[in-house]
Amino acid sequence: MSVTIKDVEHIAKLAKLEFSDAEKEKFTHQFNDILKYMEQLNSVDTTGVEPLAQVIELKNVFRDDTVKPSTPTEEALKNAPASSDVHFKVPKVIG
C-alpha cells in the first residue's frame, strides 16, 4: 500500500491541518517509509485474537451520581483566546 500526495492531502483535511507543497512531498516520502516498515504486521497470524485496548482489563468503572462542585465559569474562560461574559468567542461560523 503506497501513499500518494493526494492521500496526504485527504488525511490533512481530516486532521484539520494544512501543509506547503514541499512539506506534502516530504510527508509522503516519510509516510511510505514508516508504513512499509509497519506492513511487517501482515505476517503475524492473528486469527481469533481478541483486540487489546485496555491493558489491565478494567471493565466499566462507575461512581455514584452525586452533584459535586465543578470549575467556576471565570476559571474555565481564563485561557480562552477570546471570550465574552460566559461564552467562548469564535470567528463567524457561516461564511
Partner 1 sequence: MLSGEETVEGRVESHLSVISARKNLNAFLSVFNDEALMSARDVDRKIKNGSAGPLAGMVIAVKDVLCMTGKITTCGSKMLQNFESIYDATVIRKLKEADAVFIGKTNMDEFAMGSSGENSAYGATKHPIDETRVPGGSSSGSCVAVAAGMSTASLGTDTGGSIRQPAGLCGIVGLKPTYGRVSRYGLVAFASSFDQIGPFTNSVRDAAAILQVIAGKDENDSTSADIPVPDYASKMNRSVNGLKIGLPKEYFSDALNPEIRSVLQAKIDALKKAGAKIVEVSLPNSEYTVSTYYILATAEASSNLARYDGARYGYRSPHSTDLQSMYVRSRSEGFGDEVKRRIMLGTYVLSSGYYDAYYRKAQQVRRLIQNDFVNAFKEVDCLLTPISPTSAFKLGEKMDDPLQMYLNDIYTVSANLAGIPGISIPAGTDKNGLPVGVQLLGKQFDEATILKVGDFLETVN
Three cell numbers written together for 83: 471570550
90 in contact with partner 1 (CB under 8 A)? yes
User: What's the 3-state SS for 64-93?
Assistant: CCCCCCCCCHHHHCCCCCCEECCEECCCCC
Question: Nearest approach, Cβ of 77 to partner 1 (angstroms)?
Answer: 8
User: CA distances (Å), 79 to each of 16, 84, 88, 90, in order?
Assistant: 22, 12, 10, 14
One of 4, 25, 73, 80 touching partner 1 (CB under 8 A): 80
Query: Which residues contribute to the site for partner 1 (CB under 8 A)?
Result: 1, 3, 7-8, 11-12, 14-19, 27, 30-31, 33-35, 37-38, 40-42, 44, 46, 49-56, 58, 61, 63, 71, 75-76, 78-82, 88, 90-93, 95
